[in-house]
Amino acid sequence: MVKFEECLERLEKIVHELESGEVPLEKSLTLFEEGMQLSTTCRKQLEEAEGKVEILLKQNGKLQTEPFEPPAERALRK
């Protein structure tokens, strides 16, 4: 699994390259597609981290962890 920071760094480079306006159309489309995939990966990682934080905060003031199950996995079990 790609680290969040690495994913975000690559996404920032893609945005910068696309914003430069110096990229041919075909390469722009390839970069855009890669950027969308990276965006999805980053969003999923953030959602998982947010879920873990919520679990910690809901432990009646006690910092106890419990297994976090991403929403997509929870939906599959129902």
Structural domain range at position 42: 4-77
- pTM strictly above 0.75: no
In this prediction, residue 9 carries a pLDDT of: 96
Residues above pLDDT 90, as percent of the chain: 56
DSSP 2-47: --HHHHHHHHHHHHHHHHHT-S-HHHHHHHHHHHHHHHHHHHHHHH
Where residue 43 falls among pLDDT bands split at 50, 70, 90? very high
- Name the domain count of the chain: 1
